[in-house]
Structure 1
Amino acid sequence: MNKKIFVIIVTYNGSKWIEKCINSLLRSIYPINILVVDNCSTDDSVELLKQFSEIHLIQSKENLGFGKANNIGIDYALNNKADYVFLLNQDTWVFDDTISNLVVMAQNNPSFGIVSPMHFSGDEKTLDKGFVTYYNRNIEENAGKNIAIVPFVNAAAWLVSSACLQKVGGFESLFGHYGEDRNYCDRVLYHQFQIVIAKNAKICHDRKISRSFKKDLIQSKYKMLSQVLDINNTLFASYANALQSVFGLPKYFKQSYSFTFITQLFYNLVVYYLQLIFRMKVIKMTRKKTMI
C-alpha cells in the first residue's frame, strides 16, 4: 500500500525554475500530493503555478522566509494525514524514481527521520558544490554502503517522516533564511532519529553559490544562533561554541576579505554574541521547548 506523500515547495520569485520543478514531480512513478506555499512573489510565479491543476497553492500575503513558510505546508500535510513530507527547493528537479527510492528507504528504516537524495548541480553530472562539502566529510565511513549517515544535509530535498515531524516539530521561527536546517538537524539527532543520504536517489539543484560580505555576516550570525540553540550540548557549552565562532569565523574568511572587512566582521560578531547573552532567557525557553 502506497504511503501518503506531500511534496512541499516554498516559492519566491522562482518563475525561472518552477515549471521544470513541477513537471518533474508530475512524472514521478510514486503517487504524490504537491503543495506550494508562495512567499508573496513579485514575478509571475503565481500565474505559472495556477496553470497546474494538480497542485494545491497557498499564497502568503508576506515573505515569511523559508522556515515559517515550510511550517505552513507541514501543518497542512500533517492535518491531511501525511505519512511523509518531501521538502523541495523551487530551483530543483527530481527524477522519475527519486521519491519512490526515498520512500522505500524510509519505510524500511523507521529510525531515519530525514532521508535526502544525492544533490547534483544543474548539469546533472557533478555534485552540487554546497552538498559535496559535507557529503565528503563522511565519505570514508560510508564507503560501500547504499546510504551515507550524516549529522547534517541542507534542506533542498528532505523526505521527513510524520513520526519525526510530530516529535521534533517544525522549523524554529527565530531563524530567517539561513540556519534553520542546521538547527532542525540538531534537534532530529537529539530525538534519536538518523539523518541519511540515499545514494540510489538524486535531485538536481540549479543554483549558483555566490558570496558577499553581507551574506557571510548574516550566515555567521545564524551559525552562532544555531550553536547556542544546539540541545545536544549544555547551555554553557553551546555559548562556548558560539564564542569560538566569534574568533574562528574571521580567521576562516581572512583569505576572502581585506583586513578592514575582517575587523568589521569581528566587531559585528562580538556585538551579536553579547546580544545572544542578553537574550539568554529566550534561548533557554526555546531550548527547553525543543527538548520535549
Structure 2
Amino acid sequence: MQLSVIILNYNVRYFLELCVLSVESALQNIDSEIIVVDNDSSDGSCQMLQSRFPNVKLIQNKENLGFPKGNNIGVSQAQGEYICILNPDTVVAEDTFEKVLTFAKNQKDLGIIGVKLIDGTGNFLPESKRGVPTPWVAFTKVSGLYKLFPKTNSFNKYYAQHLADNENGKVDILVGAFMFLKRELYQEAGGFDENCFMYSDDIDLSYRILQKGKSNYYFHQTTVIHYKGESTVKDGTYMKRFQDAMEFFYKKHFKVSVFFSAFMKIGIVFFSLAKTVQGKSMVKSISKSYLLLSATYELAKIIALVVQKKVDFLEWKTEKTVNLSSISIEKNTQVILDNEFVSFKDCIFILEVYRNKGITFRIIPKNSGFIIGSDSNSDRGEVVKMM
C-alpha cells in the first residue's frame, strides 16, 4: 500500500465530513487507506463516519488522549509506505496526494513534506513553513521583530521568510495540519512525543527528523484549506496548554538562562492571551448578497429560504470551467460553492483568486445537507443546515 492518511478528530463532525470527502476524492487512483482516530467526540462524528464512509477505518478512543497519542495510535494501525497526518478541518484538492507522492519519490534525504496552506478566506497561512524556534528566533516572534525586518536573515527565520510562499524548498519546521512522510521514518523517530498534549508536538517531531540528518520540505504546488482551530475553544484551558507546550519544547531541546526562561514565560502569557482575546472578539461579517456556483438553479431557491435573502445563480459546468476573470463579484458577497459540480481543486482556486476582496466563501459538500466555511483563521467556522 502506498499511502495511509491519518485524521485525528475531536468534535468537528461537519468539518470532518468535508475533509474525508475531499480525501476520498484525492485517493481515487492511489493504493491507500483512510484512518480516522476519534478522541471521544460527543457530536455524532463516529455515527456519521460509519454511515457515510463505511470504508474508512475508525478507531474510537474512550477519552481525549491529545494530538500526539491519538496520531500515534492511528499510525500504529497504518499499512502505507507513506503516511499523511491531516487535520479534520482541512480540504485537499483532487490531485494533492498524487503531486506530493511524486515530489517525495524524487527526494533522497526525505524527512517531512508540508504544503501551501490557506485559511477559509483564501489567505496564506505563514505557519506552512517555519524555522526552528531557537531562543533568538522565538524572541523575534514574541517581540514582533520578524514583521519589522522580513528580509533580514537575523529576524525572518520564524516563518522561513527566506523562502517565498510560491517556492519549493527546504525548511526546518512544518505544521501538524499536514505532515507527509515515510511511515518507517515516523516509527524510527518515535512518532509524536506523548509528553506533550498538543501545540508544540509538530515542532518537536520536525526538529527530531532534522537531527536524524533528513531534510524537511515545503511544497507549494498544491494548496490545502486549513480552517484552523475548529477543535479548540480559546479559553483558559487553551492558554494553559499553549504555555505548557512551549515550555515543553524549550526544556527538551535547549539549555536556556533563567532570564530567558522568565522572558519567554511572560511572552508566552501575552501571546496566548492575545490569541484568546482574538478568538473571542471576532465579529461575524454579515453578507449583503449571495452567489451560488452550481449547475442546479433549484438549489439557489432552497438556500434563499435558509438565509432569508435572494441568492444569485451562476451556472458552473464541470466540462468547461467558468473563466473567473470575467466575473465581477461585489464586496460583502458570500460565494457558495456546490461541490456536486465545483471540484475541491476549483473551490481552493476560487478562494485564492478572490482573497482580500471582501468576499466570504462557503462549500456545500457533495451529497450533504449543509453549508460550511469560515471567515477568519482566529475564529471557529460556521455550519448552516439546509434540511
Q: TM-score range by the shorter chain?
A: 0.7 to 0.9
CA distance in 2, matches of 1:172, 1:223: 13
Determine whether 1:219 maps to 2:236. Answer: no
Q: Which residue of 2 aligns with 1:245?
A: 261
Deviations 1:77-116 (A, max 9, x none): 1xx3x21001100111100111111111111103121101
Aligned 1:160-171 pairs, distance under 5 A = 160-171=181-192
8 Å CA contact 2:175–2:202 kept in 1: the answer is: yes
Q: TM-score, normalising length from structure 1?
A: 0.75
Deviations 1:227-279 (A, max 9, x none): 2222xxxxxxx231686232234146558869xxxxxxxxxxxxxxxxxxxxx
How has the CA–CA distance of structure 1 residues 245 and 24 changed in structure 2, closer, same or farther, with 3 Å as cutoff?
same
Aligned 1:180-191 pairs, distance under 5 A = 180-191=201-212
Q: Which residue of 2 aligns with 1:70?
A: 71
How has the CA–CA distance of structure 1 residues 218 and 246 changed in structure 2, closer, same or farther, with 3 Å as cutoff?
farther
Which is richer in helix?
A: 1
Q: Which residue of 2 aligns with 1:193?
A: 214
State the identity as a percent.
25
**Secondary structure, aligned partner of 1:17:** helix
**Secondary structure, aligned partner of 1:27:** helix
Aligned partner (choices 82, 91, 94) of residue 92 of structure 2: 94
Which residue identity is paired with 1:90? P
How has the CA–CA distance of structure 1 residues 175 and 251 changed in structure 2, closer, same or farther, with 3 Å as cutoff?
closer
Please say which of residues 127-136 and 92-101 is displaced more in the overlay: 127-136
8 Å CA contact 1:138–1:149 kept in 2: the answer is: no
Please say which of residues 148-157 and 238-247 is displaced more in the overlay: 238-247
CA distance in 2, matches of 1:157, 1:196: 12
Quote how far apart the aligned CAs of 1:210 are. 7.5
Q: Which residue of 2 aligns with 1:288?
A: none
Q: Which residue of 1 aligns with 2:125?
A: 128
CA distance in 2, matches of 1:105, 1:244: 40
CA distance in 1, matches of 2:88, 2:258: 31
8 Å CA contact 1:121–1:129 kept in 2: the answer is: no
What RMSD over aligned residues (CA atoms) do the two structures have, in Å? Answer: 2.7
Structure 1, unaligned stretches of length 5 or more? 231-237, 259-292
Q: Which residue of 2 aligns with 1:20?
A: 18
How has the CA–CA distance of structure 1 residues 249 and 210 changed in structure 2, closer, same or farther, with 3 Å as cutoff?
farther
- Which protein has the larger Cα radius of gyration, Structure 1 or Structure 2? 2
Deviations 1:44-63 (A, max 9, x none): 10111112122111111121
Quote how far apart the aligned CAs of 1:143 are. 4.4
8 Å CA contact 2:130–2:173 kept in 1: the answer is: no
Q: Which residue of 2 aligns with 1:139?
A: 161
Q: TM-score, normalising length from structure 2?
A: 0.57
How has the CA–CA distance of structure 1 residues 241 and 48 changed in structure 2, closer, same or farther, with 3 Å as cutoff?
farther
Which residue identity is paired with 1:58? I
CA distance in 2, matches of 1:187, 1:121: 28
Aligned 1:238-277 pairs, distance under 5 A = 238-240=254-256, 244-251=260-267, 254=270
Structure 2, unaligned stretches of length 5 or more? 132-156, 275-387
CA distance in 1, matches of 2:213, 2:226: 29
Aligned 1:110-125 pairs, distance under 5 A = 110-123=108-121, 125=122
Q: Which residue of 1 aligns with 2:56?
A: 55
